[in-house]
Structure 1
Amino acid sequence: MRALVPTGPETKTVEFGDVPEPEPKPHELVIAVEALSINRGETFLLADPNPGWRPGKDIAGTVVAAAGDGTGPRPGTRVVGHPWYSGWAELAAVPAESVAVLPETVGAESAAVLPLAGITALRLLRRSGLGYGDRALITGASGGVGHYFVELAAAAGVRVTAVTATAERGSRLLELGAEAVVRQAGDAAGQYDAVLESVGAEVFPQALAKLRAGGLLLQFGQASRVAPVLDFFSFFRGPKQARIEHFDYTIGERTYGAELETLVRLVEQGRLHPEIGFTGDWGQAPDAIAALRERAVRGNIALTVK
């Protein structure tokens, strides 16, 4: 079958290749992939891929083979799935507990951009402990996770300030429920119960300085690919008992079906709006990867498999 396989050099990143069809484990079903999405973390792994590794964590399509243990949807069912890898292919094996059934009103492209970014946003909101009336600051807010987090948090009554580079991207975040939009973390007014930081470099200390006493900074990305420098003397002179935590959405529960069901239901009800900033067919994957690396994409990427 055809699949997108790593080429190694950063100039091209992936190309079509012939690979064996998946051999599912008893708890896995097989999906005929109709649409896929690309995440920033995958673009970094493509720079120096491990031997035998193939990318692909966000897919939507139709079940063509049920799980051998009898769990999960039956063949012919439209689903969204979150495999660990190898989803950028005509067929993909996915754990039955990491898929959700799609209603007819939710298209494959809209579904394919839900898994990693949507699950991360849900788990960030849960981990942050934010609730009605709390204040949150999120950097890199115009990325896939940022759009979902802003809309989900605002719906829960959280007062969100979003950091994004352009007025055009900021206007969309305001539509999704952000209370305020700023160009730089240092421009955010007041103090925040939680800061969600995904850029690194000089943005990290700027965002950290915005925490209230006892506040929590969740570091969930490094979009700049530049390590932040933290002056601990300034940190200790700052908000009392503030905390910094590295966030990894895979820590803890490693099945994703329940969260995918939640995300699909919210989309179906018009309460969550996937932001797709790049569409095309999967032959355009190298262009999409380049655009994502250059931070030229607002929201998510959706590519159809033809």
Structure 2
Amino acid sequence: MRRLIPTGDPASPVAFDEVPQPVPEPDEALVKVEAFAPNRGETFLLEHPRPGLLPGKDVAGLVVQAAADGSGPAIGARVVGHPPQGGWAEYAAVPTHSLAVLPDGVDRVRAAALPLAGITALRLLRTAGSLVGRRVLLTGASGGVGHFVTELAVAGGAELTAVTATPERGARLAELGARVVHEVAAARGPFDVVLESIGGPDLHAALLKVRPGGLLVWFGQAGRAPVTLDFFQLLGGPERVTIQHFHYAGAPYGPDLTALVSLVEQGRLHPEIGRTAPWEETADTLIDLRERRIRGKAVLLVGGTRPAAEARRSTAARIPGGAR
């Protein structure tokens, strides 16, 4: 089978290789991958790939071999999965606890866009607690996680301010009900909860926007600059603020994937797909994703260009209520 492997070359970060099909463990299903979605964090790993790195954590496809232990979906089931690695390939072995069956109304493109970003958003909002009537600040909001957090938080009753680099990247979030600004300093606080994902000086600026006794959840460092906090500068800011570190990881992922798929099927969650392309274009897509030239998620299709009907469904899925 064909698999994409790291090259270590920033100008062309992956290349195809011919390898044997994976042999599933007893609690794993073999999935014929039809679509996968790279994440920006994976583009950073590809800059200096560790030995044995097999990228790919967000996949959608078809079960062609059920798990030997009897767990999980049967042969022929359409699924979305979140394997530990190895998803950028024609076949992937996925633990059954990290699979969810897709209903007919959810296509492979939207499904592939769900796992890492969607699970992160769900678990991040659970960490923040009830948001009904609360003021929330979200930094680094224009990626996949930011889109899902915005849609779910606003639907849950939050008054959300989203920080994006440009008006174009914030337009979709404004449609979802967020107040959009383009730097943390422009956000009108104080906020009950701050969800911070840029790092560098932005974390300190965001911390000053929290109300006394409020919460800042630090869940990323997309700006790639380390954070430096000056205790004496903070003395003039809000008191008794809690800073909580957050990382989404921890199987099982199946229940959260099932919840996300259900929200999509019900029309309550609309993955933003900034690009859909055949997987032969993965290297270029990874570069554009790394350089923030793609808004929302990118989805690569394994085995050829998508049918026209699926293209129409994917485009319509970007906007609640369908295409316009």
Tell me the TM-score normalised to structure 2 length.
Answer: 0.91
**Distance in 2 between the 1:236 and 1:91 partners?**
55
Q: For 1:186-205, what per-residue CA distance to the aligned partner results, in whole angstroms no more than 9, with x for missing partners?
A: 11112111111111222221
The equivalent of 1:74 in structure 2 is 74
Question: Equivalent residue of 1:228, what SS?
Answer: coil
Distance 2:130 2:199 in 1: 22
| Alpha-carbon offset, residue 20 of structure 1 | 2.1
**CA distance in structure 2 between the partners assigned to 1:103 and 1:204 by the alignment:** 40
- In structure 1, give the amino acid aligned to 2:189: G
Identity %: 57
CA shift for structure 1 position 171: 2.3
Residues of 2 paired with 1:233 and 1:79: CA distance?
52
Aligned length: 303
Other-structure match for 1:304: 301
Mapping of residues 182-261 of structure 1, within 5 Å: 182-250=181-249, 253-261=250-258
Structure 2 distance, partners of 1:228, 1:213, is 21
Runs of 4+ in structure 1 over 4 Å off? none
The equivalent of 1:50 in structure 2 is 50
Match among 253, 276, 281 for residue 284 of structure 1: 281
Q: Deviations over 1:231-286 (max 9, x none)?
A: 22222432111122221001xx4111111111101111111000011210111111
Match of 2:25 in 1: 25
Using the TM superposition, give the Cα deviation of residue 64 of structure 1 relative to its aligned residue in structure 2, in angstroms: 0.4
Alpha-carbon separation, structure 2, partners of 1:79 and 1:29 = 10
What residue is the counterpart of 1:86 in the other structure?
A: 86
Letter in 1 for 2:228: V
CA–CA distance in structure 2, aligned partners of residues 284 and 125 of structure 1: 34
Match of 2:108 in 1: 108
Question: Residue 50 of structure 1: CA displacement?
Answer: 1.5
Is the contact between residue 97 and residue 251 of structure 2 (CA under 8 Å) also seen in structure 1? no
Match of 1:267 in 2: 264
1:33-77 Cα distance to aligned partner (Å, 9 max, x none): 000001011111111112112000000000000011100000100
Kept in 2: contact 1:130–1:194 (CA 8 A): no
Aligned residue number for residue 38 of structure 2? 38
Could you say what secondary structure the match of 1:237 adopts? coil
Paired residue secondary structure (2:258): helix
Rounded to whole Å, the distance in 1 between the matches of 2:19 and 2:195 is 39
Structure 1 residues without counterparts, runs of 5 or longer? none
- Root-mean-square deviation (CA, aligned residues, Å) is 1.1
| Aligned position for 2:144 | 144
SS at structure 1 position matched to 2:215: strand
Superposition deviation, residue 183 in structure 1: 0.8
Give the Å deviation of 1:159. Answer: 1.0
